[in-house]
């Protein structure tokens, strides 16, 4: 499973990149707002050190508008993926971009049928939002399993990009189901390293090594 990082905070992306855990980056208008910097400048800076795909979201409500935005966004870096919302206009744009060889990521997916529609339009990625489904008492991971089954049955090459990840269990479930990608917020990425037995084990080893060192001949 590929790990994308779900943030527009360049310093956080650099930290995760240094750990070798950035196969790509996803951004959205809310993440850009949170980062508090110019959109273009931010994406251009990320593109200087991230080799993998960087999703940049369109804001227009018409296919024509989305295609215009896409023309600009693809000039911001080597591996820009055009993120498009799951609407009929969005799917028109995805079809056109796909025929031009431009990669797309269909966002705000909440049902397996939306994912199938996006795949049929030629989407490179579909982004089902598991956390937001869990928030309203529906099974986020349930739709990941269903989409996996549908895409496998029909041998669709569209990749399942698990989004709206909130905790390490989402990452575990995504990996067990066989999602292609999970996009992880920086705080959740850090949690993946942690276990209390790892921490206490390190402390014990260090303490024992100190005792052992004291016994060495001078
Ligand atoms: C990424 O592509 C999505 O926009 C993001 O994961 C949404 O996460 P949220 O539901 O925590 O806002």
pTM: 0.95
Is the model's pLDDT at 217 over the cut of 70?
no
- Say how many Å lie between the CA of residue 163 and the centre of ligand 1: 5
Q: Which two tokens stand for residue 87?
A: 């609407």
- For residue range 78-118, list pLDDT tens digits in order: 999 999 999 999 999 999 999 999 999 999 999 999 999 99
What DSSP string runs through the chain?
-EEEEE---HHHHHHHHHTT--SEEE--HHHHHHHTS-HHHHHHHHHHH--S-EEEE---SSHHHHHHHHHHHGGG-TTEEEEEESSHHHHHHHHHHHHTT--EEEEEE-SHHHHHHHHHHT-SEEEEBHHHHHHTTS-HHHHHHHHHHHHHHTT--PEEEEBS--SHHHHHHHHHHT-SEEEE-HHHHHHTT--HHHHHHHHHHHHHHHHHHHTS--
CATH number, domain with residue 96: 3.20.20.70
What total number of domains does the chain contain? 1
Is the model's pLDDT at 178 over the cut of 90?
yes
pLDDT confidence band for 158 (50 / 70 / 90): very high
Going by alpha carbons, the residue nearest to atom 8 of ligand 1 is 164
- For residue range 14-25, list pLDDT tens digits in order: 999 999 999 999
* Terminal CA-CA length for the chain: 51
- For residue range 114-142, list pLDDT tens digits in order: 999 999 999 999 999 999 999 999 999 99
Going by alpha carbons, the residue nearest to atom 4 of ligand 1 is 28
Q: For residue 132, which atom of ligand 1 is closest to its CA?
A: 10
Domain that holds residue 106: 2-215
- Say how many Å lie between the CA of residue 156 and the centre of ligand 1: 24
- Cβ–Cβ < 8 Å for 165, 6: yes
Output the pLDDT for position 214.
72
- Cβ–Cβ < 8 Å for 73, 50: no
Closest by CA position to 52, among listed 77, 33, 84, 28: 77
67-84 average pLDDT score: 98
What's the whole-number average pLDDT of the chain? 97
């Amino acid at each position: 499973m590929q790990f994308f990082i779900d943030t527009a905070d360049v310093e956080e992306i650099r930290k995760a990149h240094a750990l070798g855990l950035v196969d790509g980056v996803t951004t959205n208008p809310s993440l850009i707002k949170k980062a508090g910097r110019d959109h273009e400048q931010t994406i251009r800076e990320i593109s200087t050190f991230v080799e993998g795909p960087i999703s940049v979201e369109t804001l227009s409500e018409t296919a024509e508008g989305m295609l215009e935005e896409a023309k600009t966004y693809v000039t911001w870096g080597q591996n820009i993926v055009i993120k498009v919302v799951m609407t009929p206009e969005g799917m028109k744009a995805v079809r056109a971009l796909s025929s031009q060889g431009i990669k797309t990521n269909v966002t705000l997916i909440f049902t397996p049928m939306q994912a199938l529609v996006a795949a049929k339009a030629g989407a490179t990625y579909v982004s089902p939002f598991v956390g937001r489904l869990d928030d309203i008492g529906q099974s986020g991971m349930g739709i990941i399993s269903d989409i996996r089954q549908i895409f496998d049955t029909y041998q669709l090459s569209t990749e399942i990009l698990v989004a709206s990840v909130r905790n390490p269990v989402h990452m575990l479930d995504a990996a067990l189901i066989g999602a292609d990608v999970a996009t992880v917020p920086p705080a959740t990425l850090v949690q993946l390293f942690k276990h209390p037995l790892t921490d206490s084990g390190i402390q014990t080893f260090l303490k024992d090594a100190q005792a052992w060192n004291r016994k060495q001949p001078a």
